[in-house]
Amino acid sequence: GKRYAVFGTPISHSQSPRIHAAFARQTGIELDYVSIEAGHDDFAAKLAASGAQGANVTLPLKEDAFALCRETSERARRAGAVNTLIRDGDGWRGDNTDGLGLVRDLTERHGLDLRERRVLLLGAGGAARGVAPALLDAGISALFVVNRTPERADALADAMGEPGRVHARGWDALPALGEFDLLVNATSATRGGALPPLPMALAGLRSAAVDLSYGEAAVAFLAWARAAGCTHAMDGLGMLVEQAAESFLLWHGVRPETDPVYAALNGQGD
Ligand code: ATR
């Protein structure tokens, strides 16, 4: 079978190899999908040495992946980040399936209607950039991008090119922002340390919250969200499975069924 890989740091707990193996069994496509630890310094060399026909890219390499592509999709350009590499001769084409993955998970799996919703996006790094365009395309009424470093929030908002709908703020503005319909944690704070305190008034009984991380890394934000009254509090496992299905479609021309794979991963935890 052909070889595929996911690159990032840390990578040992990545669920992507299991997800793609499950899709491969389901569709009868033979492939080999491995995880390869790589950072900014050695990513390009390890990618070239891998012999992969396609690759997924996760933290902290999505901007690096974008930079090494000879061609990128429109959604990857809007995000300024690539999570899916497709071999193109001796080079790579880049796409980004993260945003569509998140929107599919929220609307189809969890039954949320995003139209006319007021959305808070915490963080302005690669993860936030990956999902912002798809949230806007889903018809939300307003996107508030809040980041510890306000300049990065400004840059993300500017890149979206919709000053009427997208607003950048610093963390200190949170108490004045009122209640949101959807709160998205796209910071890496819970992976490395503690999230700064969030005012309870950001969420109410009609609010939904999603952390783009999954497993242990999502626990703190989701505990806060439940304490703040959110009815739906979801981690990023559903998004992970949905973005993987979109990558699988790009590589193999077949869209696998995600529900059984999500159920298997969710049941087993971690
Ligand atoms: P990713 O690809 O996960 O977005 P990143 O580009 O390093 O990774 O971005 C990490 C995000 O988490 C940033 O928005 C970062 O805020 P800064 O731009 O101010 O660095 C945010 N973040 C990380 N640790 C944080 C913390 N302890 N408190 C608040 N925000 C944090």
Rg of the chain, C-alpha, whole Å: 18
State the CATH number of the domain containing residue 163.
Answer: 3.40.50.720
Q: Are residues 36 and 76 in the same domain?
A: yes
150, 230: one domain: yes
Maximum CA pair distance of the chain? Answer: 55
Ligand 1 neighbours by CB, cut-off 6 Å: 59-60, 123-128, 147-149, 152, 186-189, 193, 196
Task: For residue 73, give the CATH number of its domain.
Answer: 3.40.50.10860
Q: Are residues 92 and 22 in the same domain?
A: yes
In this structure, are strands 232-234 and 54-57 parallel, antiparallel, or unpaired?
Answer: unpaired
Domain count for the chain, please give it: 2
- Residue 198 is predicted with a pLDDT of 94
Give the neighbor-by-neighbor strand order of the sheet with 84-88: 31-37, 2-8, 54-57, 84-88, 91-95, 71-72
Does the annotation flag 63 for ligand binding?
no
For CA atoms 75, 77, 81, 85, give the dihedral sign.
positive
Among 7, 57, 148, 195, residue to substitute to test ligand 1 (most atoms within 8 Å of Cβ) = 148
48 and 143 part of one domain: no
Is the same domain home to 126 and 62?
no
| Residues 201 and 173 both lie in one domain | yes
96 in a known ligand binding site: no
Structure confidence at residue 193 (pLDDT): 61
Co-location of 103 and 228 in the same domain: yes
Position of tokens 């509090």? 233
Residues 46 and 108 occupy one common structural domain: no
Q: Ligand 1 atom closest to Cα of 152?
A: 18
Residue 32 forms beta bridges with which residues?
A: 3
Cα dihedral: 189, 76, 236, 187 (round 10): 10
45 and 119 co-located in one domain: no
Beta strands across the sheet bearing 118-122:
166-170, 142-147, 118-122, 182-185, 208-211, 232-234
Q: Which of 129, 187, 198 to mutate to test the pocket of ligand 1 (most atoms within 8 A of CB)?
A: 187
**Active site residue ranges:** 62
CA 189–ligand 1 middle distance (angstroms): 6
Q: Are 125 and 199 part of one and the same domain?
A: yes
The segments of the chain whose pLDDT lies below 70 read 190-193, 268-270
pLDDT for 269 equals: 45
Residues 256 and 208 grouped into a single domain:
no
Is 107 labelled a binding residue? no
Does residue 218 sit in the same domain as residue 250?
Answer: no
Query: Range of 33's domain?
Result: 2-96+241-268
pTM of the model: 0.95
Tell me, what's the ipTM?
A: 0.96
Between CA 118 and CA 24 the distance in angstroms is 38
With a CB cutoff of 8 Å and minimum separation 6, the contacts of 210 are 102, 105, 106, 182, 183, 184, 185, 232, 233, 234, 235, 236, 239
Report which of 166, 112, 177, 159 is spatially closest to residue 143, judged by C-alpha positions: 166
